[in-house]
Structure 1
């Protein structure tokens, strides 16, 4: 089994946090988004992963440190890491085809801007499985249309009239991903463009027209990381899941003096907490100092100093110095407010 991860986008909706760090490497509950996504998919598949192919953008932004992090991720799962580049933002189908040398055999394609919780058996008899989640407002999503045999017969983007309430979440399984590669090559060769880009859906639709069988795989939880507010919400939900799973969330190297920690919280290595209340639903990365502060429902990255603050629904980047009285904030890397 292979996993293909297109992740070349800059994550503009999550700025300023993505000005210096690619969105898939933003940590949620102490672990980068893409690390959580790939690890959770591998767990769901329950079989050896031979290769994980990452499609990155500009090397000036997705540099050697990103490649090293992703290589460690793949090797930690017993897989080979393959790195590809998408030099132009030409769409989901184009991004997949940038990894065409890896497009053979059974594979999962997963876009690295979402997190899932799932526990099900993968239907390997079908030609493809498209992961979906039941939603309350299907008109805001791309959804699948099913026939009487519960097979997917159509993909409909933001339907004005009700088609189904099963939204496509951006994770796909292909029994032989080379079939998708052939159809996407046709899309590229014939310049089949939608929304100004080459889309994976156009390759999938050609597979459907050729009689390939598509079925749904439903996830228990689908969590977005598109902007600051939903990323903070996803951090909260993920902390709850990890606490329920019994995962150790607070490092033994945390220094506490007159500190109160209200779970669930993730607190990384070397964090110093003085005269402070942390939690619930807070993640604090390695090397931070929090003093004379109360924080809840927030996400703080690494090597940051926070003093004299009362924070709620806040997201703070790496190497920040913050001393102030604001509450709902979003501060990028290397900022100083004092």
Structure 2
């Protein structure tokens, strides 16, 4: 059996809610629990027997950071990894159809599609076993999970066939699908992880040809009124959720596999803190060697903590729970860090306190300074939580009580407090701030 995995990494027009962190590095390469977000995707895919290739699809310009990541991941996971660049944003299925010859090369039996802006304990092998148990004409299996009624309104909602033991082959069959409904449909939501059979290219081709016909008709109309073609939508844009799943629902060719494992989206910096916590917890089972341990001459560790081997941490520091310390960081005497991510090259001087925050690359936090956020996470122990609840901004653009984000190369002086604030890169602060965006 031959499998491939497609990871949709988007492009530079996305990720605005993730700023200022995405100003320095593409969001898919942002480190969570010590590794880039898509590292966790590739690691999960590489564990599935028969998975021979990972294809990244997006419209980022290839750069040194992306190329370096791909080369390192290929060596680590012993799987071929390639990046295919779209000429523009083609939607969640347009890129898949555009590069269909590359995906179908070698005649894979199935292929996974994973959105890069989700994280979780991905049950890919279980999805594969479930998909193979369904009728041979099945196009796709969607990974689903349970949300609350209110949370479900901002996701794709799935109504499935609750089949009895007399018709097990129908269990999980999707009867109705609505993307971000205006009213309640179902508490089963789409996780953005799909397992497709090559037959999925049949409805993709139909949608593509329909787009061409519609665009041709529009072109004829626009020629008569002097239309500006620079604003015309790409003819190849296809949305997997609205254009493919909605019409496929009730066809008998679309199924949902539900998981109770940890899953969430990563839309905002607060979501990265949430994902960091759960990936660290997952390491207890999958990679206990990655978690720091207490011992003579070592800092005090509380709960789950990742410390990069190159980091220098004073033995009087207290770290955890839910802390990641990146490459070449320096932590001085009596430093306290909890529920935070400290990115590569950051310096935390003596006795500073970092709570519910992200400290940017190569930033310096002065002696006795307190950096603190206020996470809005009602139940941290549940495997699913709506990430917009921890968003940096409210819908009217005002700053939400949330984690504090210090951008890269920021100098924070000694003996100040930074509370619930966002600091853009390359700033030199001079005092205390609360609920502010420092431009």
TM-score band, normalised by shorter chain: 0.7 to 0.9
User: Residues 273 and 203 (structure 1 numbering): CA distance in 2 closer, same or farther, change over 3 Å?
Assistant: same
In the TM superposition, what whole-angstrom CA distance separates every residue of 1:136-193 from its partner, at most 9, and x where no partner exists? 1322321112235331133202233332211001111111143354244335424588
User: Residues 255 and 96 (structure 1 numbering): CA distance in 2 closer, same or farther, change over 3 Å?
Assistant: farther
Q: Which has the higher contact order (CA 8 A, sep 6+)?
A: 1
Pairwise mapping of residues 118-133 of structure 1 onto structure 2 (< 5 A)?
A: 118-119=122-123, 120=126, 121-124=129-132, 125=134, 126-133=138-145
1:111 has 2:151 as partner: no
**Structure 2 residue corresponding to 1:143, chosen from 153, 157, 164:** 157
Indicate the residue corresponding to 1:269 in structure 2. Answer: 309
Instruction: Give the drift of 1:336.
Output: 2.5
1:9 has 2:11 as partner: yes
Indicate the residue corresponding to 1:97 in structure 2. Answer: 97
Q: Is the 8 A contact 2:347 2:363 kept in 1?
A: yes
- Separation of aligned partners in 2, 1:75 and 1:270: 21
1:300 has 2:342 as partner: yes
Larger radius of gyration: 2
Task: Structure 1: give runs of 5+ residues left out of the alignment.
Answer: none
Instruction: Give the drift of 1:79.
Output: 2.7
- Separation of aligned partners in 1, 2:209 and 2:76: 36
Instruction: Give the drift of 1:134.
Output: 0.8
- Separation of aligned partners in 1, 2:51 and 2:289: 26
Indicate the residue corresponding to 1:163 in structure 2. Answer: 185
Q: Secondary structure at the match of 2:288?
A: coil
- Separation of aligned partners in 2, 1:187 and 1:64: 38
In the TM superposition, what whole-angstrom CA distance separates every residue of 1:49-82 from its partner, at most 9, and x where no partner exists? 12211113231xx413202312432454333222
Task: Structure 2: give runs of 5+ residues left out of the alignment.
Answer: 163-169, 216-232, 374-403, 414-439
Which has a greater percent of helix?
A: 2
1:175 has 2:197 as partner: yes
**Structure 2 residue corresponding to 1:240, chosen from 267, 271, 281:** 281
Q: Is the 8 A contact 2:284 2:291 kept in 1?
A: no
- Separation of aligned partners in 1, 2:188 and 2:205: 27
Q: Secondary structure at the match of 2:201?
A: helix
The alignment's TM-score, normalised by the length of structure 2, stands at 0.68
The alignment's TM-score, normalised by the length of structure 1, stands at 0.87
In the TM superposition, what whole-angstrom CA distance separates every residue of 1:223-243 from its partner, at most 9, and x where no partner exists? 222111121011112211212
Q: Is the 8 A contact 2:46 2:79 kept in 1?
A: no
Q: Secondary structure at the match of 1:203?
A: helix
User: Residues 191 and 19 (structure 1 numbering): CA distance in 2 closer, same or farther, change over 3 Å?
Assistant: farther
Q: Is the 8 A contact 1:90 1:198 kept in 2?
A: yes
Q: Is the 8 A contact 2:320 2:337 kept in 1?
A: yes
User: Residues 123 and 228 (structure 1 numbering): CA distance in 2 closer, same or farther, change over 3 Å?
Assistant: same
Q: Is the 8 A contact 1:183 1:206 kept in 2?
A: no
- Separation of aligned partners in 1, 2:206 and 2:191: 21
User: Residues 184 and 221 (structure 1 numbering): CA distance in 2 closer, same or farther, change over 3 Å?
Assistant: farther
- Separation of aligned partners in 2, 1:188 and 1:82: 28
- Separation of aligned partners in 2, 1:255 and 1:317: 28
User: Residues 190 and 122 (structure 1 numbering): CA distance in 2 closer, same or farther, change over 3 Å?
Assistant: farther
Instruction: Give the drift of 1:333.
Output: 2.3
